[in-house]
Chain A
C-alpha cells in the first residue's frame, strides 16, 4: 500500500502543478517546524527521507550526533489551500528518524506513535476530539496589553462581524484540509472564540491540531488580525482551554460504553478515568506547559482547579458528558485542564499513558464530586479527599520530575530536555518584577 500512496503523492504533485512541498514536523515544545523541497526531490524524500541538522530544533539536538532524517508520511499529504494559485504548495507531516532508521527519541510524533502502539497491543484505538479556544486581537505591540477586536475602535465598521467572518473562513479552510469541524461559536470573553473538532484517531488529531493553529493564525493574519492560543491573555476574563474528549474503541465497539451502568460507563472507562485522575498532577506540566497556563487554572473562570470528576458539574477536572440517547459510540470523557498552547503529541501521549495505567492496574474510581467545588472551603475539600492541580509551572515540574509514568511515556530524551527547558523558563519568570508588584508595593512599602 505504501507504494501506491507514494505514487498517489507523486502523481498529484505532477497533475496539480505543485511547486513546493513543505515537510512539517513538531519540536518538543509543540512549535510547527518546516522546510521546503522541490518536486524533483520528492521521490527521493518519500523513499529515503531528507537529512537535516537537528541541532537547530528545540529539544532535538545532542550536539555530537546532530543529523536526523525526516521521513514524510504520505498519508498526510495535502495541497495547501492558501497562497498563490499559480504556484501551488503542499505539505506532508514527517516522522523523524535517526540516520540508522530507528525512531528519533526527540520527535514528539514518534513518542505518540509509541504510546498508541501500546494501546493497540491491548486492542484499543484511542480517539480524541478537542474544543479549542483562542482570542482575536489587534496586532500586538511590544510591551502593550492585547486589544480585543470587539471592544470597538479597531474596526471602523462596527456592524460587520469581522470575527464571525474570520471564523467562517477558518472553518472552510479547515474542512478543505480534511479537518471536520463540529461546532464553532463566540465564547464568553471579549474576542474569544471556540472551534470544536470532530473526533478522529489521536495521531491524525495531533497533526490536525498543529494544522489548526496554523490555519487560525494564517486566516486572521490575512485580515491584519492576530490570533493567539496564549492560555490567559486577559486578566479578569476566562482564559483559553483545550478541553479534550476521549474514547477508546475495541474494533466496532466503544470500550467506554456499558449498558448496565447508570452513567453508561464501562469498567474500562472508569479505570481509565481513575488513572487519569491519579496521575493528573504528574502530567500537568505537559498539558499546561507555560508560566501563563497556571493563570487560567484558577477558581471562578470555568477552568478546573480540583482533581475530581462529575457528570454535569463543570468545576471538575473530568466531565462525563451525557451522550445523545441510544448512541453508545458517543460515550466519552472530557478532560478539562489542557490549554491550546500544549504540544498535542505529548499531551495525548501522557494522558493515554495515565489512562492505560489505570486499566492495567485496575484502579478504583473515586465517587463523583457532584457539588460545585468552588463553593467548598479547604476543610470540606479535604474531607472529600479532593486535591488540587499544581498551582504553578514550578509545582508541576516538581511533580513531573518524580513521575515514572511520564518518564516512560515521553522517553528519557524528551523528559530530561523538557524539565531542563521549563526550569529555565521558570527561573526567567521568577526574576521578573510585575505591574502587580508595583501597584501593590511601590507606594505602600
Chain B
C-alpha cells in the first residue's frame, strides 16, 4: 500500500502506534505545503488528520487535500468532543471521523472499512433547484437552461448554498466554509458576493438567495415556508 499522510508532525504517539500496529505505511506532514512537497508520485493513499492540537491548520490541510483535481481519499479526521460542531458543513472535507481520545481498535476498524470502500463517491454531480442547475463535474451553472458566467468564488458560494437549501447561514459560517480560514477579506466579502450573485441570477431568480435579517442568508424556501 502507498503512503498515508498523517497530521500533525509529529503525530500523537498513540496514533502513530495504532497505525504501525495495523500495518499502514505513513508519513507525518506539518502543513498543506509540506504535504504537497512530500506527496508520493502516485499521490497520497489517504490521510488521517488529528484536529485537536491545531484545528485551523488541520482544516486548512483537509481543504488543500480535497479541493484539487484529484482529492485525497479516504480522509479521516480525529476530533475532540468539543470540536464536533466543527464537522458541520464540512462534509466534503472528510470521509469519516473518530472522537479523541480514541480507542485504537475503533480507529483501526474505521480505517479498514474506509480503505475497503476505496473512495466510491455517492455524491450527485448535478445540483438542481427551481430552474438553477449546477454541474459539479464541469463547474457550470445555468438558470432556465441559460449559462451563468460566474467567477470562481461566486460559483463556490452558490454551490454551497444550493447544496444546503432552506438553511440559514451567518456570514461567518459562509466565510469559513466557502473561503476557508486563509482568506483575509472580512465578512463583508460575503455580502459583496451575494449581491453579485443576485444580479447574475437576474430579477426573476434573485430571490433564490434570501436575506435573513440580522442573521445571514438562506437559499430557497425555508423548510417551514415563508
Q: Which residues of A contact B (CB under 8 A)?
A: 1, 3-5, 7-9, 11-12, 14-16, 74-79, 81, 120, 125, 127, 175-176, 178, 180, 198-201, 204, 249-252, 329
Q: Does residue B224 face the partner (Cβ distance < 8 Å to A)?
A: no
Instruction: Name the CB-closest residue of B to A181.
Output: B199
What is the 8 Å Cβ interface bit string for chain B, positions 66-79, against chain A (1 contact, 0 not)? Answer: 01110000000000
With A and B bound together, what is the CA distance between A342 and B130 in angstroms? 44
Most buried by B among A4, A79, A201: A4
Task: Find out whether the CB atom of A175 lies under 8 angstroms from the CB atom of B199.
Answer: yes
With A and B bound together, what is the CA distance between A199 and B188 in angstroms? 9
With A and B bound together, what is the CA distance between A189 and B120 in angstroms? 66
With A and B bound together, what is the CA distance between A169 and B17 in angstroms? 66
Task: Find out whether the CB atom of A11 lies under 8 angstroms from the CB atom of B138.
Answer: yes
B154 proximity list for chain A (CB < 8 A): 178
Identify 20 new A-B residue pairs, CB closer than 8 A, beyond the known A7-B69, A74-B152, A252-B172.
Answer: A1-B63, A4-B67, A4-B69, A7-B68, A7-B139, A11-B139, A12-B140, A14-B138, A77-B152, A78-B151, A79-B149, A175-B200, A176-B149, A176-B199, A176-B200, A199-B188, A200-B192, A201-B185, A251-B186, A329-B188
Can you give 9 A-B contacts (C-beta < 8 A)? Answer: A3-B67, A15-B139, A78-B151, A125-B185, A125-B188, A200-B192, A201-B185, A249-B188, A329-B188
Task: Find out whether the CB atom of B68 lies under 8 angstroms from the CB atom of A4.
Answer: yes
With A and B bound together, what is the CA distance between A143 and B172 in angstroms? 57
With A and B bound together, what is the CA distance between A175 and B201 in angstroms? 10
CB distance from A151 to the nearest CB of B (A): 33
A15 proximity list for chain B (CB < 8 A): 138-140
Task: Find out whether the CB atom of B155 lies under 8 angstroms from the CB atom of A252.
Answer: no
Contacts A75-B152, A176-B149 given: A1-B180 contact, CB under 8 Å?
yes
Q: Does residue B104 face the partner (Cβ distance < 8 Å to A)?
A: no
What is the 8 Å Cβ interface bit string for chain B, positions 11-29, against chain A (1 contact, 0 not)? Answer: 0000000000000000000
With A and B bound together, what is the CA distance between A236 and B224 in angstroms? 61
Q: Does residue B91 face the partner (Cβ distance < 8 Å to A)?
A: no
Instruction: Name the CB-closest residue of B to A3.
Output: B68
Residue count of chain B within 8 Å CB distance of chain A: 30
A204 proximity list for chain B (CB < 8 A): 192
A79 proximity list for chain B (CB < 8 A): 149
**Shortest Cβ-Cβ A-B pairs, 10 listed:** A175-B199, A79-B149, A3-B68, A125-B186, A8-B152, A249-B186, A4-B67, A178-B196, A200-B192, A180-B195
Task: Find out whether the CB atom of A251 lies under 8 angstroms from the CB atom of B187.
Answer: yes
B116 proximity list for chain A (CB < 8 A): none
A250 proximity list for chain B (CB < 8 A): 186
Task: Find out whether the CB atom of A1 lies under 8 angstroms from the CB atom of B182.
Answer: yes
Instruction: Name the CB-closest residue of B to A76.
Output: B151
With A and B bound together, what is the CA distance between A75 and B171 in angstroms? 20
With A and B bound together, what is the CA distance between A329 and B187 in angstroms? 11
Instruction: Name the CB-closest residue of B to A8.
Output: B152
Q: Does residue B164 face the partner (Cβ distance < 8 Å to A)?
A: no
CB distance from A77 to the nearest CB of B (A): 6
Contacts A4-B67, A7-B69, A180-B199 given: A201-B189 contact, CB under 8 Å?
yes
For window 52-98 of chain B, which residues contact chain A by CB distance below 8 Å?
Answer: 63-64, 67-69
Most buried by A among B138, B149, B196: B149
What is the 8 Å Cβ interface bit string for chain B, positions 193-223, against chain A (1 contact, 0 not)? Answer: 0011001100000000000000000000000
B182 proximity list for chain A (CB < 8 A): 1
B138 proximity list for chain A (CB < 8 A): 11, 14-15
With A and B bound together, what is the CA distance between A204 and B154 in angstroms? 14
Contacts A1-B63, A12-B140 given: A127-B188 contact, CB under 8 Å?
yes
Q: Does residue B126 face the partner (Cβ distance < 8 Å to A)?
A: no
Task: Find out whether the CB atom of B152 lies under 8 angstroms from the CB atom of A180.
Answer: no
B64 proximity list for chain A (CB < 8 A): 1
A329 proximity list for chain B (CB < 8 A): 188
With A and B bound together, what is the CA distance between A204 and B153 in angstroms? 13
Contacts A120-B184, A127-B188, A252-B187 given: A198-B195 contact, CB under 8 Å?
yes
Task: Find out whether the CB atom of A8 lies under 8 angstroms from the CB atom of B186.
Answer: no
For window 89-144 of chain B, which residues contact chain A by CB distance below 8 Å?
Answer: 138-140
Q: Does residue B40 face the partner (Cβ distance < 8 Å to A)?
A: no
